Amino acid sequence: MAKTHVIDGVTYKEVERRAQVGELVINPNDGIPTKVTAVSDNSVDVEGYLTVDEDEIGVDSVVGILHGYYRVLEPIDPPQKTTTDELLEITANLTRRVFDLERENKRLRDDVTETLGTITDLLRRRDRRIEEIERKVFDTSSLKPFDLATLNGKRVTLLHGEDGGYEILAAKDEDGNFYVISEKEACK
């Protein structure tokens, strides 16, 4: 029957075979378990530890063990997940999901900002075009014949535009009234 050891709450059994990096081994001479850090043809390197020599006079430092002079410790039952382990795993998963959602939220926010910028640019261009058209065209049906006496002392704005086949020069007073100054057939 294989000898067993309990380390950090996990039960291990001793097995005679070559160890691999990361496994626990024990030297039967000193009974101290340690982790394998490297494997070569004739030995294993281990996480170093100190032992008292045979005469109990000096201290030996162990950093490697020859093949055949150690036993591999294999867990009999895999360690049970504790609630702490489960909570850490849940927390890690939630953290990843929050990070992914934040990244997606930023991408969507950037898309919305870009789209709003495009819409704003289009609206500005539309408004400039409407203003440009309004400057060129105005309704001549509300125009009154030009009477200089009516405009005496008023501030006026001169307007030029086309109505059908006619070119019209008009004035707009500060009250919003329009007056035709001249009307002639447009040049083709």
Q: Which two tokens stand for residue 41?
A: 């043809």
In this structure, are residues 27 and 46 in contact, taking their beta carbons and an 8 Å threshold? Answer: no
pLDDT category at 111 given cuts 50, 70, 90 is very high
**pTM passes above 0.85:** no
Rounded-to-integer distance, Cα 12 and Cα 74, Å: 5
Greater confidence (16 vs 177) lies with 16
Q: Taking 70 as the threshold, does the pLDDT of residue 146 lie above it?
A: no
Could you write out the DSSP letters of every residue in 70-98? -EEEEESSPPPPPHHHHHHHHHHHHHHHH
Q: Give the residue-averaged pLDDT of 1-23.
A: 89
